[in-house]
Structure 1
Amino acid sequence: MLSTPGENRLSAQLVSLAKSVALITVALFSLQSNPKAQAVGGGIELTAEQLAEAPEFSVPVDCDFDTTCFVQHYFDHGPGSRTQDHFCSGLTYNNHRGIDIRTTTLEQMEQGVNVIAAAEGEVIIVRDGVTDRALNQREVNEFLTNSGLVLKSNQVVIRHSRNWYSLYGHLKKGTVAVKKGQRVRRGQPLGEIGLSGSTSFPHLHFGVMFNNRVIDPFTAREDDAGCQQPARQSLWTEAAEAILTKRKVGILNAGFSDRVEGIDDLKTKPLLSRSQTLTSTQQITFWSGHWGTQKGDHITLEIHQPDGQIARVSSVAEESRVNGYHFLTLPLPPSGQQASGRYVGVFSILRGKKVVASITRGAVVP
């Protein structure tokens, strides 16, 4: 049984960090601090002895990272209000202290994606019973302007050694499969990816703590001194790091609609099939959701019409974005003129001379 001085005084507090559209709950622990850790760049510099005690983490979800899951947010190392993950890219948000692993769609979450223990240890905190519900845009804006708002999530916290802990947040209601005080092995199911707490998309928030300090598992650093700081060491297994850094841009979903839909509606759509049938004869809209665009990327939407014409809109990303949606609406000809047939939508992201993400969807107008 693992123990630590002052164990009887151990407590946990959930704090909602409303720093972007993707809201997160991070667990900050009120534990006995270790005075040997040295302050550096707004954080601590762990000693070699402390790092030697650190666990080596496996991927904390049982999920296909080619089709179903990806990392939407990494740990933020940007100084002040700047946002920088350890790659010096934009896949994070201000003061984000953890790793967000999401499913591409809500439908995939509802089908069930297991969250698993990233290393062996003892369960010290468990919460279940919080309803799964994505915050809508109005609620997101409210949280962004009111830092005092807190929504607790279903979660599990594991103690791996005297000073090291891991957090698994936003679990699906009713799926938490472990109890406080239980010993768990690496890879043991803890629950499922969910939507509980302060979040607008289905995901696992995975956090690593050394005592009461939240540490980036990719760098073993806490500091906000910028992304150029060298990593002390990775806390992942070699296989886990390769999986979690494999994709940094991609498509969330895409499809046609006979009306312009709101972002909240598009987020809840299942992964659409390659071909749809539309009923409207007024207009059709081709849309696509994407993640990981970088400043300078060329973003293009096309609608290939039955008569061979192509409607196209292109833009250049003025800044890096964690995610976003693009739309192209095409008015259909008046009744009696050619409007029926098959329409094909193509969305692509060009980075330099390489297409880094693309998707094609079709629709039939009777």
Structure 2
Amino acid sequence: MRRLAALCLLPLPAAAQDLSLAWPVDCVLGETCYIQQYVDRDPGPEARDFTCGSLSYDAHRGTDIALPSLAAREAGVTVVAAATGEVVGIRDEVPDVMRGAPGAPDVAGRECGNGVLIRHPGGWETQYCHMELGSIAVAPGQTVEAGTPLGRIGLSGDTQFPHLHLSVRRDGEDVDPFEPSADAACGATGASLWALDVPYEAGGLIAAGWSDSVPEYEAVKAGTADVPLAADGPIVLWGFLYGSRAGDAIRLTIAHDGAEVFAHEEALDRTQAQAFRAAGKQAPDGGWPAGTYAGTVTLLRDGDEIDRIETTVTID
């Protein structure tokens, strides 16, 4: 999906709480999945994540672990139990149709879509939402261990992109697994509920690719935007990003044989959960020289690079 080196998930010392969460998706954070949104920590109508960043929305009660494309979901990504417990509820009846898409069902009262609810000792619960219809692999009353497959990421319920929404509760109250204390200051370094070090990223790049024109946004989200390039046609580089803020900038550069052939930088005028940008150049007289072209998409914040994807394409 992205970046030159994957973000590592490293074991942490045992924390001072009685729930320890394993990573609940069969994906590599920073490579094949990313965290799109966190629990909303703002008590009013605004939204902020546990760092006081903007990766949340008003009244969001869970952690959204997202896939880079619809194609990635269709390949099948397993959801697993985050901790040992008893399955106390499932739903497996909601079609995988995104909110607002043709044929989308009424999901009032079923916003979670297909999912699993697990009860853990000490009054804890974890809930797994937006799973694929027909994929639920457990039953009420069943005891599961951390890592037990529960089903697959889907598009059921109130969702517009493929992801697992994980909610954590204790005695019926929502808990942010990154900062369980309800009154913690922004960026507090108290013990999280994660058994692994789950790094925070304040936005980044999801994917990048090539086209002969500015692709349709739906194709970018589906993972089908890339097309072969012709020597006598335009060359367009695109980047798909998340968690962008007003004032960020995206830079797209194309090089051949180490020499820059195109560069474009654009300021982003608003904060968005997801967005994409594309830019390119018409073929020169005589067409593009044959060979490999290197594209670099960089996301900048306050002049500093916060993420980068490098990608290549060959023109015959």
Q: TM-score range by the shorter chain?
A: 0.7 to 0.9
Distance, in Å, in 1 between the alignment partners of 2:187 and 2:229 is: 52
Q: Alignment partner for residue 48 of structure 2, among 84, 97, 100?
A: 84
Q: Which moved more, 1:148-157 or 1:99-108?
A: 148-157
Distance, in Å, in 2 between the alignment partners of 1:176 and 1:265 is: 28
Q: Is the 8 A contact 1:220 1:231 kept in 2?
A: no
Counterpart secondary structure, 2:121: coil
Shift of 1:198: 1.8
Distance, in Å, in 1 between the alignment partners of 2:134 and 2:298 is: 39
Q: Is the 8 A contact 1:340 1:364 kept in 2?
A: no
Q: Is the 8 A contact 2:70 2:221 kept in 1?
A: yes
Coordinate RMSD, CA, aligned: 3.5
Q: Is the 8 A contact 2:36 2:64 kept in 1?
A: yes
Shift of 1:216: 1.2
Q: Is the 8 A contact 1:78 1:227 kept in 2?
A: no
Shift of 1:153: 1.1
Judging changes above 3 Å, is the alpha-carbon distance between structure 1 residues 252 and 53 closer, same or farther for their aligned structure 2 residues? Answer: closer
Distance, in Å, in 2 between the alignment partners of 1:147 and 1:134 is: 11
Please, what TM-score do these two structures have when normalized by structure 1? 0.70
Counterpart secondary structure, 2:66: strand
* Paired position in structure 2 for 1:21: none
* Paired position in structure 1 for 2:209: 255
Shift of 1:109: 2.3
Q: Alignment partner for residue 281 of structure 2, among 323, 330, 335?
A: 330
Distance, in Å, in 1 between the alignment partners of 2:85 and 2:258 is: 63
Q: Is the 8 A contact 1:301 1:314 kept in 2?
A: yes
Q: Which ranges of structure 2 fall in alignment gaps of 5 or more residues?
A: 1-15
Distance, in Å, in 2 between the alignment partners of 1:245 and 1:308 is: 35
Look up the equivalent residue of 1:345 and give its one-letter code: G
Please, what TM-score do these two structures have when normalized by structure 2? 0.80
Counterpart secondary structure, 2:218: helix
Judging changes above 3 Å, is the alpha-carbon distance between structure 1 residues 246 and 222 closer, same or farther for their aligned structure 2 residues? Answer: closer
* Paired position in structure 1 for 2:20: 56
Q: Is the 8 A contact 1:63 1:69 kept in 2?
A: yes
Q: Which ranges of structure 1 fall in alignment gaps of 5 or more residues?
A: 1-51
Residue 340 in structure 1 maps to residue 294 in structure 2:
no
Map 1:63-78 to 2 at 5 A: 63-78=27-42
Residue 97 in structure 1 maps to residue 47 in structure 2:
no
* Paired position in structure 1 for 2:193: 235
Q: Is the 8 A contact 1:340 1:365 kept in 2?
A: yes
Q: Alignment partner for residue 203 of structure 1, among 150, 163, 167?
A: 163
Distance, in Å, in 2 between the alignment partners of 1:99 and 1:120 is: 19
Distance, in Å, in 2 between the alignment partners of 1:149 and 1:278 is: 47
CA offset digits 1:87-134 (Å, max 9, x no partner): 111211222110011122333322322211111111111111433234
Map 1:239-318 to 2 at 5 A: 239=196, 242=197, 244-269=198-223, 277-279=228-230, 281=232, 283-304=234-255, 310-318=261-269
* Paired position in structure 2 for 1:153: 113
Distance, in Å, in 1 between the alignment partners of 2:203 and 2:70 is: 19
Shift of 1:182: 0.9
Shift of 1:196: 1.7
Q: Which moved more, 1:84-93 or 1:208-217?
A: 208-217
Shift of 1:61: 1.9
Look up the equivalent residue of 1:180 and give its one-letter code: P
Map 1:45-194 to 2 at 5 A: 54-135=18-99, 151=111, 153-161=113-121, 163-194=123-154
Distance, in Å, in 1 between the alignment partners of 2:99 and 2:139 is: 28
CA offset digits 1:175-231 (Å, max 9, x no partner): 2110011111122111122222221221110001223322212222457xx963957
Q: Is the 8 A contact 2:84 2:146 kept in 1?
A: yes
Shift of 1:255: 1.2
Distance, in Å, in 2 between the alignment partners of 1:284 and 1:229 is: 42
Counterpart secondary structure, 1:265: helix
Counterpart secondary structure, 2:168: strand
Distance, in Å, in 2 between the alignment partners of 1:249 and 1:229 is: 16
Shift of 1:306: 8.6
Distance, in Å, in 2 between the alignment partners of 1:72 and 1:113 is: 16
Percentage of pairs with the same residue = 32
Shift of 1:349: 1.9
Look up the equivalent residue of 1:228 and give its one-letter code: C
Q: Alignment partner for residue 217 of structure 1, among 170, 177, 181?
A: 177
Distance, in Å, in 2 between the alignment partners of 1:179 and 1:235 is: 25
Look up the equivalent residue of 1:81 and give its one-letter code: P
